[in-house]
Amino acid sequence: MVLPIHDINPLRRRPVITWLLIAVNVVVFVFFEPIVTSVAGYTTATPRSVCEQQRFFDHWGAIPKEMLENRPLDAVPNGRSAGVDASGSVRCRLESPPSFVKSPILSVLTSMFLHGSWLHLIGNMLFLGVFGNNIEDRMGRFLYLIFYLVCGYTAAYGFALFEGNSTTTLIGASGAVAGVLGAYLVIFPRARVIGLVTFLFFLPFWLPAWLVLGFWFVLQYLYFTGIGVADGGSVAYGAHVVGFAFGALAVMPFVRELRAAGPPRRHAPDHRWVRRTPWS
């Protein structure tokens, strides 16, 4: 696994929408979500906090069965614990019908700004911060925001089609971020990215974007086809695969225009025009 921390790809303008998306995700996680893990990854959960978090996610997260039927579930956790079973799993009390009103379609939008742990949040925001700014720069702020949200919706409904009648809650910006990664791979395949290679003791290397993002996609695809999309706090690899593929395919017809929309030519000291973009 390669963790990207920076890319060499100049911008024309400040990535306001990317910064705003990161800020909203952090604010929602810190101030609105019931958090049951510490920054270091250690659990601080009690049976009650687990059930409160599950109720929160069922209210604001996307659930495949609800999405496909366009109808909320008949029974959801009420935020109170019913004890711990023999396997150590927390059992939550249910309420039927739910005391809250939920729109399955809008839940896809709200689910994009929820995360299950600090690690989940930091991972998504790291990839968005490194690669999202250049996509925003080429598309323009408004179109980039629409593209980001459409990627998130496509990834979520793709996940729902794979999962069928599952009541597993889908949360996280991963699907939308995956769409941004797919677009970046198509537009800037040769951009240089500095990444920390985890299996080499986090040593930094300069690598081409096609290698970093291509390896990421292959890894997600292998996880998806090998073990599927797991329950609970695990990862929705199917959403990653769908989001990435959609983002890449969506920008392919416009790749020339998007590349041409890059930083303007700069006048060099020797009076010759040069381009600053390493991928062209």
Please identify which residue in the block is written with the tokens 């500095």.
194
What CATH code is carried by the domain that includes residue 222?
1.20.1540.10
Domain membership of residue 23 (yes or no) is yes
Q: Choose among 131, 166, 123, 169: nearest CA to 151.
A: 131
Domain membership of residue 36 (yes or no) is yes
Please determine, for residue 94, whether its predicted confidence score (pLDDT) is greater than 50. Answer: yes
Please identify which residue in the block is written with the tokens 């990207």.
4
Domain membership of residue 167 (yes or no) is yes
pLDDT tens for 186-199 read 999 999 998 887 76
Q: Choose among 98, 119, 101, 102: nearest CA to 111.
A: 102
Count of the separate structural domains present in the chain: 1
Task: Provide φ and ψ at 26, rounded to 5°.
Answer: -65, -45
Domain membership of residue 229 (yes or no) is yes
Note down the domain range covering 109.
2-44+102-263
Helices (H), the chain: 16-31, 47-60, 64-69, 104-111, 118-139, 141-163, 174-187, 209-227, 237-251, 255-260
User: Token pair of 219, please?
Assistant: 């890894």
Mean pLDDT of the chain: 84
pTM for the predicted model, two decimal places: 0.86
Whether cis (ω within 30° of 0) applies to the bond prior to 10 is: no
pLDDT tens for 8-54 read 999 988 999 999 999 999 999 999 988 776 555 556 667 777 888 88
